Chain A
Amino acid sequence: MKSLDGLRFRKRKTPIHRLDPRVKFLLICAIFALSIIFVDLMSITIIFLALVPLVLLAQVQGEWLRSLRASALLAAFIFVLNLIFVSDLYYALAMAFRFLVIVSSFSIFFLTTSPDDLGLALEQSHFPYEFSFAFTTAIRFVPELAKEAQIIVDAQRSRGLELEGGNILKRIRNYIPILIPLIVSAIRRSMELAEAMESRCFGAVKMRTSLHALKIRSMDYLVILMIVLVLAGSIYIRFYIHLL
């Protein structure tokens, strides 16, 4: 459950944290797109390595490594599956790496973007307020949920539940005593939240104003420019020159 820590926002003052959330989202989408465009090991490794300076710049290397470690098992699973069905070692490796790239980009995004900024970004992109509120609330609940999951795991282990060991089927069954209390409590909590919000007149005023407004700054334009150039370059290399 500590793996979810790899997605939790930490307040820090770095250029990455200061990027406009919309631009940062674009950046993540671009990385995502790049890792889909390319299928060969070499390119995906380059994309992966290109993330390292980003991570260092954002000073989230510890959390990033943790999220990598947490996704290692799934990456290994992807590797094995591809190896079995495609039986191409390089391809299987590339697929596993691609998964890690996607995990990393998400991890960087959520680690460096405060939920408030995210909500603001949604609002300013003309999403309905209910939507952006639900979104930020969901993100805010993640650490709470992780904490709760840990307590539930503890409670069930105290009743003799062993999570490790056994075949796959048994392992999956082992999670039922964890998931049910977790889901029930999440539902109960959201009901309570809805009641608390209604008793505080949520949605009574249609026009909302924000104290802080997001502004795209020159740094953001620079990043957008870079994204466009890299994406265009990559598409050119991949589809027109057939270099790779």
Chain B
Amino acid sequence: MIETHDVYYTYPNGFEALKGVSLAIETGEFVAIMGENGAGKTTLIKHFNGLMKPTRGSVVVDGRDTKKVTVATLSRDVGLVFQNPDHQLFSETVEDEIAFGLRNFGFDDKTIERRVDWALNLLNISQYRTTSPFILSGGERKRVALSSVLSWDPKIVVLDEPTIGQDYLQKERLRQFIMQLNTQGKTVVIVTHDVEFVADCKPRVVLMSKGRLLADGSSEKILTDDKLLEEASIIPPQVAQLFWQLKFNNAGREIIDVYEAAEILAREIRERMN
């Protein structure tokens, strides 16, 4: 469980990026943090494994104040995957890259080998096992970065912009994979601008703007609230837009799911035809 208590964070240059963020993420929850560029999303998630310590307020992860434990200790439980894979890839081969974290956490060779196999399979990159990560495509590098963190099986997985540069197929795989992690009882936090992806996954949505929490609730509720979305510079999901255009939403319906939408439309058409 991650709790932030009235967290303020000021960068060394004096810029206040977080202004009183209080948030509780329960164990096993699936949360999407959304908000405009510069809202403070990355700054916030860097507090989850202690990389950043709040200037004011506190962050507590599974009962431990992040100010009192090392980043390495916290990272064992909170796996943070950064936005840009190029900020972490350095090994000669993909398999070494994945083994890096495992070595740091002191797993034995046998376990490392097993975990590397597992992580390679997990994200469909087994064929690149002995390839240099630097010659892979952007989307592939992103998956290497992801598997290099998932390899040590952290209890909480935090992903910064996981869908960037992924084609439709990979995105769908990623979605299934995240859902699977979540059903296995892992806490999953994603930071994303990808509204359709969120509409497909339907996590709890935390909306941020200018260093503050703007709203917090189910994706159905948040992603159909046009005022909120505009404030956070988010385009509503296409299904919600379609229903607004059709003036369907006046019944208080909060629909973002394509299948649900199709059902309602089909029913409506059937009724009108009769």
Point out residues on A near B: beta carbons under 8 Å. Answer: 2, 5, 148, 151-152, 154-162, 176-177, 180-181, 184-185, 188
Contact = CB atoms under 8 A, between A and B. Distances in A.
Given A2-B12, A5-B12, A158 B90 contact: no
A160 B101 contact: yes
A181 B86 contact: yes
B75 A160 contact: yes
B87 A148 contact: yes
A111 to B, nearest CB: 15
B9 interface: no
Given A181-B86, A181-B87, A158 B104 contact: no
A162 B148 CA distance: 17
B86 A158 contact: no
Contacts of A185: 86-87
B76 A184 contact: no
Contacts of A159: 75, 88, 100-101, 104, 148-149
Contacts of B148: 159
A5 B11 CA distance: 13
Contact of B82 (A5, A155, A160): A155
Nearest to B81: A158
Nearest to A157: B71
B49 interface: yes
A160 B103 CA distance: 9
Interface in B87-124: 87-90, 100-101, 104-105
Given A160-B76, A181-B87, A154 B51 contact: yes
Contacts of B101: 159-160
B265 interface: no
B149 to A, nearest CB: 7
Contacts of B46: 154
B70 interface: yes
Contacts of A161: 72, 100, 104
Contacts of B87: 148, 151-152, 155, 181, 185
B80 interface: yes
Contacts of A188: 86
B248 interface: no
Contacts of B82: 151, 154-155, 158
B243 interface: no
B128 interface: no
Pairs of residues from A and B, 5 with the lowest C-beta to C-beta distance, nearest first? A160-B104, A180-B90, A155-B88, A159-B101, A158-B80
A158 B72 CA distance: 7
A156 B100 CA distance: 9
B72 A162 contact: yes
Most chain B CB inside 10 Å of its own CB: which residue of A156, A158, A176: A158
Most chain A CB inside 10 Å of its own CB: which residue of B76, B90, B101, B148: B90
Given A151-B82, A154-B82, A184-B134, A160 B72 contact: yes
Nearest to B92: A180
A188 B86 CA distance: 10
A157 B48 CA distance: 13
Nearest to A2: B12
A183 B156 CA distance: 31
17 contacts: A2-B12, A151-B87, A154-B46, A155-B82, A155-B87, A155-B88, A157-B75, A158-B71, A158-B79, A159-B101, A159-B148, A160-B72, A161-B104, A177-B88, A181-B86, A181-B87, A185-B86
Contact of B149 (A148, A152, A158): A158
Contacts of A160: 72, 75-76, 101, 104-105, 152
Nearest to A185: B86
B49 A158 contact: yes
Given A158-B49, A184-B86, 12 more contacts: A5-B12, A148-B87, A154-B46, A155-B87, A157-B75, A158-B75, A158-B82, A159-B88, A160-B72, A160-B101, A177-B100, A181-B90
A152 B89 CA distance: 9
B78 to A, nearest CB: 8
Contacts of A184: 86, 90, 134
Nearest to A156: B88
A148 B84 CA distance: 11
Nearest to B82: A155
A176 B104 contact: no
